[in-house]
């Protein structure tokens, strides 16, 4: 698993430099992820096209861009629409989101600060099984067993 090509690529988009630096370090320490940070929301679509991440962690409110509008642009692009997006936001309180986050329009919103182990769980749950190469998405067909 040590090869870079085995790692899942995550694009982390947030204007808070300290937050992105810390989260990148924590995610990369797991040995499972290659993380690229983009601190300018307006560069997100270009970064996604260039980096081709397995998943995007996206802040909702940034000084130069709206995360919801960025997600809409990604989902409207036939080449990018299948890349999962998880919102990280301080605009939704943990009470509103609950400990497990909240879904709106099929997208997951996690309240910042997010509990790290739960974030990993969400990332793993959102990366497509076909992208992980670990399991086949189709269960093997077994002949029906006689009763």
pLDDT tens across 13-50, in order?
Answer: 999 999 999 999 999 999 999 999 999 999 999 999 99
82 neighbors 60 (Cβ within 8 angstroms): no
pLDDT above 90 for 79: yes
- Specify if 137 maps to a domain: no
- Mean pLDDT over each residue of the chain, to the nearest integer: 82
- Specify if 34 maps to a domain: yes
Q: What is the pLDDT of residue 134?
A: 38
Q: For residue range 61-75, list pLDDT tens digits in order.
A: 999 999 999 999 999
Task: Give the chain's largest Cα–Cα span.
Answer: 64
Q: How far is it, in rounded angstroms, from Cα 88 to Cα 113? A: 8
55 neighbors 123 (Cβ within 8 angstroms): yes
If one counts every other C-beta atom within 10 angstroms of the C-beta of residue 75, the result is: 15
Q: What is the pLDDT of residue 137?
A: 36
Q: Which residue has the higher pLDDT, 128 or 134?
A: 128
Q: What is the pLDDT of residue 95?
A: 55
- Specify if 142 maps to a domain: no
- Specify if 133 maps to a domain: no
Domain hosting residue 52, numbered range = 4-128
pLDDT above 90 for 56: yes
Q: How confident is the model at residue 138 (pLDDT cuts 50, 70, 90)?
A: very low
Q: Read off the pTM.
A: 0.79
CATH number assigned to the domain comprising residue 123: 3.40.50.2300
- Specify if 39 maps to a domain: yes
3-class secondary-structure state, position 45: helix
How many independent structural domains does the chain possess?
A: 1
- Specify if 84 maps to a domain: yes
């Amino acid at each position: 698993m040590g090869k870079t090509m085995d790692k899942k690529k995550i694009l982390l988009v947030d204007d808070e430099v300290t937050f992105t630096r810390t989260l990148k370090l924590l995610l990369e320490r797991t040995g499972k992820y290659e993380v690229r940070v983009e601190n300018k929301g307006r560069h997100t679509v270009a970064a996604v096209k260039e980096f081709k991440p397995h998943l995007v962690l996206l802040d909702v409110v940034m000084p130069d861009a709206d995360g919801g509008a960025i997600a809409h642009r990604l989902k409207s692009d036939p080449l990018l629409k299948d890349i999962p997006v998880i919102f990280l936001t301080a605009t939704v309180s943990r009470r509103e989101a609950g400990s497990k986050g909240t879904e709106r329009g099929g997208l997951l919103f996690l309240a910042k600060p997010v509990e790290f182990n739960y974030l990993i769980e969400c990332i793993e749950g959102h990366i497509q099984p076909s992208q992980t190469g670990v399991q086949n998405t189709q269960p093997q067909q077994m002949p029906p067993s006689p009763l």
